[in-house]
Each structure stands twice: as C-alpha cells, then as structure tokens.
C-alpha cells in the first residue's frame, strides 16, 4: 500500500521539478552595454497633414475590412498630437484610447511599439514598464518619410499581431 502512494508522489515531484527547471527566466540582460550608435535616432520632421492622415486611416480600414477585423485606427503628427481617428463599426470601445496611445508611443519614442513588447517579453527588460507613456504591445508604427518622422499610426481592436498588420498596410504608403 505504501509503495502505491509513494510512486505517484515521486512521479509528481519529478514533474514539478522538471517544470520548474524549464520555466526559469532568461539570463539578465546587460543594461550596462554601451551601443556605438544611438538607436532610434531618426529626427522629427514636419507634421503629417489631416488629408494625408485620413488617407492612411482609409488604407488601414480597407486592410482591416479585407481581413474581417473591426479596428480603432489613430494617426498622430510628429509631435504626437492626434490628427485623424476612425472607430470601425463593431470595434471595441476599450481600444479607442489604446490605438491613440500606441500611435503616440511610436511617435514619441521613434520606434514601433513592437520594440517595447520584445523588450519586456523576450529580453526581460522590466524597466521599460516604468517609462512614461509606453505601450508594450505591437500595433504602433512611426511614419518616416525622407528619413524624418512625420507622425505615427496606431491600431487596436484585435490581437497585437492583427493590429500590427493593419498599421503596416497603411505605413507602407509612406516612402522612407
């Protein structure tokens, strides 16, 4: 009887120990490393205009419609000020402010919000979450024209990867 009880306990213990070993976090990142060049240093340019921002909104909405996704889409200028916004029919209300926040983050920090997601999820850079105005979720992309940031687009309403696909379709209309 004793062996019947001990055997399953030993198996369960071995499984728990094995799971614990596999679930260990990645090694700590070297935050003291000094890059040769400044990352994400594209200069800010003249702000995107309303008509052009609306055309990007329409391109993003067309991509979302093709995929059957209801999205909130925001375009900000190079100063991170809202220029154009669309809430597609059926898009969730919570994603209104998220789409704007993603666009503002991409403009202010001069990088796609995917970079923040990777920093937290893949590199374990938890400090990123302490920075003001950061969204660590993909779906915000800077709009770079002639080497200058003219604004950014942010999409929200689906998964992060869906949001990013819709933003990318619109951002592709800007010639870098």
Tokens found for residue 66: 């093709």
126-134 contact pairs (CB < 8 A, 24+): 127/31, 133/101, 133/104, 133/105, 133/108, 134/105, 134/109
> Distance between CA atoms of 110 and 33, rounded to whole angstroms?
21
The predicted structure's pLDDT at residue 148: 96
The predicted structure's pLDDT at residue 78: 97
The predicted structure's pLDDT at residue 34: 87
Which tens digit of pLDDT belongs to each residue from 16-34? 445 444 555 555 666 688 8
Which pTM was predicted? 0.81
> Do the Cβ atoms of 98 and 160 come closer than 8 Å?
no
Residues of the chain with confidence (pLDDT) below 50 = 6, 9-17, 19-21
The predicted structure's pLDDT at residue 9: 47
Which tens digit of pLDDT belongs to each residue from 107-132? 999 999 999 999 999 999 999 998 99
All domains of the chain in start order, with CATH:
50-171 (3.30.450.150)
The predicted structure's pLDDT at residue 17: 47
């Amino acid at each position: 009887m004793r062996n019947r009880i001990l055997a399953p306990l030993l198996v369960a213990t071995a499984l728990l120990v094995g799971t614990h070993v596999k679930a260990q976090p990645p090694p700590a990142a070297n935050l003291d490393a000094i890059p040769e060049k400044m990352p994400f240093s594209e200069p800010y340019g003249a702000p995107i205009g309303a008509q052009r921002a609306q055309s990007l909104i329409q391109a993003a909405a067309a991509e979302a419609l093709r995929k059957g996704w209801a999205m909130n889409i925001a375009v900000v200028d190079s100063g991170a000020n809202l220029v154009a916004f669309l809430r597609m029919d059926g898009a969730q209300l919570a994603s209104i402010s998220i789409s704007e926040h993603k666009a503002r983050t991409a403009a202010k920090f001069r990088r796609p919000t995917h970079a923040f997601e990777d920093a937290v999820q893949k590199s374990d850079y938890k400090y990123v979450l302490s920075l003001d105005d950061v969204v660590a979720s993909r779906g915000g992309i800077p709009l770079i024209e002639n080497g200058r940031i003219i604004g950014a687009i942010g999409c929200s309403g689906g998964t992060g990867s869906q949001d990013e696909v819709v933003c990318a379709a619109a951002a592709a209309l800007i010639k870098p």
